[in-house]
Amino acid sequence: MKFLDSAKVHVRSGDGGAGAVSFRREKYIPLGGPDGGDGGRGGDVWLEVTPGLNTLIDFRYQQHFKAKTGTHGMGRNRHGAKGEDIVLRVPQGTQIYAEDDETLIADLTENGQRFLLAKGGNGGFGNAYFKSATNQAPRHANPGQPGVELSVWLRLKLIADAGLIGMPNAGKSTFLASVSAAKPKIADYPFTTLHPNLGVVGIDGNEFVLADIPGLIEGAHKGVGIGDRFLGHVERTRILLHLVAGTQEDVAQAYHTVRREIEAYGEDLAERAEIVALSMVDTLNAEERAEKSAELGQACGQQVYEVSAVSREGVDTVLRALWKEITDYKQAKVAAEAENKAWSPL
């Protein structure tokens, strides 16, 4: 399935059905009076988060959606049926922006979550509604109200617990394929990964979601290479795993290059917890490994893990460190919510 994380759609809710003008006419029943029914309400346009989806590719082939018009009222006080709703099924993490592509309307982060994007028009009243003591034979009815028409942008930001960042060919895809059932494309040339990949990682009976983001190079925030358009997919992550390839001539420079692009991107991404690992250590001898690990540690100012996705050296250690950061974050979040919760006697 192809990956698409942005789509513009045009929607229109259904018009309300018109009310009816009708009079009861039956033999032996004089002065039957008005009996025109009300029109039905137009169909609504909903967005619903559906499990199993991780792309907006369906909206590449269809961008226009229109709900059904409500049924018109009829005689004998028969009211029209409501128009059929239309439901746009989107992946978890979809954001809805107004047509200006800046105003956030809704952020759908939970499976099964529904959002009413466009409400259908109300049905018109039939002439029976207007009957009164002073107007016992009204000859008018209301037309249905028109539906709502608008264009919106759908933007997907994947929901993941941890994100993989690094320069092209840092071993991110190989690492993801090694620790999960994901099957990202792996090759020995830059920008092999052209879209984010998700994998469910298991360690010590625990599971979390890991996202592999296409590689960053210097100037990515200005659109160089693939640019930083995919960094939005790690905005929701709790922690970043920064892989620096042991095959790099200058591992410190490689680390700083990616960090500068993250800081330039903004959105508080640079403030996220980060674990740094020297990857592909199976290609280095003992002396090279020690030298590059020391250089990288001095550059990042923290412990550097040594990993090899091929031999799985150090992989479980890194996964345990990721899981600890994720659980610490969740516990801190629960404690903060409990502290801020207003006291209630119920």
The residue type of 166 is G
Tell me what pLDDT residue 195 has: 65
Tell me what pLDDT residue 223 has: 53
pLDDT in tens, 180-235: 875 654 444 344 445 677 788 889 988 888 988 876 766 555 555 454 566 777 78
Tell me what pLDDT residue 110 has: 92
Tell me what pLDDT residue 244 has: 94
C-alpha span between 175 and 119 (Å, rounded)? 46
C-alpha span between 32 and 253 (Å, rounded)? 90
Tell me what pLDDT residue 297 has: 94
Q: pTM, whole model, 2 decimals?
A: 0.76
Tell me what pLDDT residue 300 has: 93
Residues 6+ apart with CB under 8 A from 44: 13, 14, 67, 85, 86, 116, 118, 119, 120
Show the low-confidence residues of the chain (pLDDT under 50): 1, 185-193, 225, 227, 346
C-alpha span between 300 and 275 (Å, rounded)? 10
C-alpha span between 246 and 170 (Å, rounded)? 8
Residue 248 DSSP SS3: coil
pLDDT in tens, 151-176: 999 998 887 889 898 888 888 888 98
Which domains are delineated in the chain? 1-156 (2.70.210.12), 162-339 (3.40.50.300)
Tell me what pLDDT residue 187 has: 45
Tell me what pLDDT residue 192 has: 46
For residue 150, the 8-state DSSP code is: E
Element (H, E) at 328: helix 315-340
Tell me what pLDDT residue 227 has: 47
Residue 283 DSSP SS3: helix
The size of the chain, in residues, is: 346
C-alpha span between 37 and 18 (Å, rounded)? 9
Element (H, E) at 258: helix 251-265
